Structure 1
Amino acid sequence: MQQQFTVYPAIDVREGRVVRLRQGDYAQETRYPDAPLEVARRYAAAGASWLHLVDLDAARDGGYTLAALLRDISGSTGLRVQTGGGVRDEAAVEALLEAGAARVVVGSVAVREPSRVIGWLSRFGVERITVALDARLGADGRWRLPVAGWTQGSGLELETLLKAYTDAGLRHLLCTDIDRDGMLAGPNLALYRTLVEQAPGVLVQASGGVRDVADVSAAREAGCGGAVLGKALLDGRFDLADALAVERASPVVDPSSC
C-alpha cells in the first residue's frame, strides 16, 4: 500500500496578525508584516493545495473568530483549509464546515471529551475532522496532553487517547511536539515513527520543529501522512515550492502494509 503525503503551510493568527509562538508561549510571539489573506494567496500561488489555519486567540479562550477570513481564503485562493482553535461543540464544527473549511481541527475538546469527538467522526465523517493531540514529554518519559492553547494540563497521556481514536476509525491526526514548536530544532521523528506504528491507517501530520526541506523528506520517510510548515517557511528559510516537490515525489511504501 502506498502512503499519501501532504504539505500543510501554516498560518497562525492572533489579534488579526500572522504570528508564531515559541513552544506555545503567548508571551514569546513573533509577528509578521503581511496580512493572513496575503500570505494564503502567496502559498496558493506557490502550488499548495492545503492550508493549516489556526485561531490562537480562540485556542486559549474558546470561540473561533476567523470565519470571515476562512471564507475569504477558501473562496478566493483555491486552497483547501484545515482550521481550528476554540472549537468546543458540534455547532462550531458545523459552522466552520459551512464557512468553507475542508477539515476542522479539534484539540482541547478532543482531549477532555473524546466520546463527543468520536461522535463527530461518525456524524461529519473521518475526512472532515482532524484530531490534534499535541504533547509534551514529561520527566517520567510519558507524553502528556496539555489543553487550552497548551496553557493547562489535562493529566491524560497520548498513547491512551490515541488508541481510543484509532479504534473509532480516526483518519487524520495532528501531533505537535510542543517543546519543538517554533524552535527550528527538527521534527521529533522518533515520536512520529511510534505514532505511525501505533495507529496504522491514520495519516499522522508532523508538526513542530521543521527547519528545511530535508526535514519534510524525513517526516515522509518516517511514515507521516503530512507535515505542517510554520516558522521556517514564514522566515524564508526554504521555498514552499521545494517542499511541495517532496509531496509530489513517488509515493513511499506504507511499512504497515509490508
Structure 2
Amino acid sequence: MILLPAIDMKDGCCVRLKKGDFATVHQVANSALETAKRFADAGASWVHMVDLDGARDGIRQNFPFIYEVIQDSGLQVELGGGIKNELDVITVGGAGVSRMVIGSAAVSRPDLVAYALEQYGADRVSVGIDCLNGSVRTSGWEQDSGLDCLEFAAHMEQIGVRTIIFTDIAADGMLSGPSYRQLDALQKVVSCKLVASGGVTTLDDVKRLRDMGIYGAIIGKAYYAGTLDLAQAVREAGPQE
C-alpha cells in the first residue's frame, strides 16, 4: 500500500482543517518543499497536495509552491483542488503532476473527467469523492450534491476512472480512524484503486487498511500532530511505487 503524506495549501501556507471547515484553518508548516523533502527522507514516494484556494475560489495562487514540490522534492505529486475545466487539466498535467484529482467538477462535468482520461490516461487521472453521511459534497466540501457516493463511484468507473480518492469528511482532521465500513462498501461496488483519506491516525490504521487491500492511504493531521511516525508507517505499508 502506498502512503501519501499530505500538504494542503492556502494563501501560500501549509495548513490543516477540521472536517473541511475553513474556519478551523491553521498553519502546520512553513515550506511546502521542505515538508515534502522530509516526507521523502522518511521513505515516501508520493505526496498528496490540495490547493484549497483553487477548490473554493478557483484561484491558482498556490501553484508556484506546488510547482516547486513537483520539480525539486523527488516525490510523485498527486494534486487536487480547483481542476474545473480543460485549461486546468492541461495546466496541471503539463506541469508534471503525476496524478490529478478531479473533485467537484466530476459531479457537474463528468465530460471533463473523460477529457482528462483521453489526454493523460487512467494512471494520471483520479476522481476525488468527498462524502458526508453517504452523500457527495462539492465546492470545498461546502455544498451537498445530493448524489449517493457509491452510485457516483460506480458511474465514474464506467467512464474509465481507475483511481478514486475517498474522503470521509466527518473523519478528516479528527484523528478518529478511517471509515472502514464505507471503504469496504466501496470495494464491493467498484474495482478501482482506492485511496483512503480522512482519519488515518495510528500504525494500526495503516496495517488494517493494508490488510483490507486498499491501494493507498493519505496521511494528514496524524503526521503533523505526531500520532504517526511516517517512516515506521512506510515500513508497515510495504514497497512504495
Q: Name the TM-score, length of structure 1 as normaliser.
A: 0.89
Residue 60 of structure 1 pairs with residue 56 of structure 2: yes
2-structure distance, mates of 1:31, 1:66: 14
**Where does the alignment leave 5 or more consecutive residues of structure 2 unmatched?**
none
Q: 2:206 aligns with which of 195, 216, 231?
A: 216
Contact 2:10 2:62 (8 Å CA) reproduced: no
CA drift of 1:15 comes to: 1.1
Q: Provide the aligned length of Structure 1 versus Structure 2.
A: 240
**Residues 16-95 of structure 1: pairs in structure 2 closer than 5 A:** 16-95=12-91
2-structure distance, mates of 1:122, 1:157: 26
Counterpart amino acid of residue 124 in structure 2: R
Counterpart amino acid of residue 227 in structure 2: R
Q: 1:99 aligns with which of 83, 95, 109?
A: 95
Contact 2:32 2:66 (8 Å CA) reproduced: no
CA drift of 1:249 comes to: 6.1
What percentage of residue pairs aligned between the two structures are identical? 38
CA drift of 1:61 comes to: 0.9
SS in 1 for 2:92: helix
CA drift of 1:233 comes to: 0.5
User: 1:113-142, CA deviations, whole angstroms, 9 ceiling, x for partnerless residues?
Assistant: 2233123223320011110011011xxxxx
Residue 158 of structure 1 pairs with residue 158 of structure 2: no
Q: 2:131 aligns with which of 132, 135, 149?
A: 135
Contact 1:144 1:155 (8 Å CA) reproduced: yes
1-structure distance, mates of 2:7, 2:194: 19
User: 1:184-240, CA deviations, whole angstroms, 9 ceiling, x for partnerless residues?
Assistant: 10000011111112112x110000011111101111222211000000101121211
Which residue number in structure 1 is paired with residue 138 of structure 2? 147
Residue 238 of structure 1 pairs with residue 234 of structure 2: no
With 182-191 and 149-158 compared, the bigger mean Cα shift is at: 149-158
Contact 2:43 2:231 (8 Å CA) reproduced: yes
> Which has the larger share of strand?
2
Contact 2:51 2:82 (8 Å CA) reproduced: yes
Counterpart amino acid of residue 166 in structure 2: C
Which residue number in structure 1 is paired with residue 180 of structure 2? 189
1-structure distance, mates of 2:120, 2:239: 31
2-structure distance, mates of 1:176, 1:207: 5
Counterpart amino acid of residue 218 in structure 1: R
**Off by >3 Å, runs of 4+ in structure 1:** none
SS in 1 for 2:218: strand
CA drift of 1:34 comes to: 2.6
CA RMSD of aligned residues (A): 1.5
1-structure distance, mates of 2:227, 2:88: 35
With 101-110 and 238-247 compared, the bigger mean Cα shift is at: 238-247
SS in 2 for 1:65: coil
SS in 1 for 2:147: coil
2-structure distance, mates of 1:24, 1:152: 11
CA drift of 1:147 comes to: 0.6
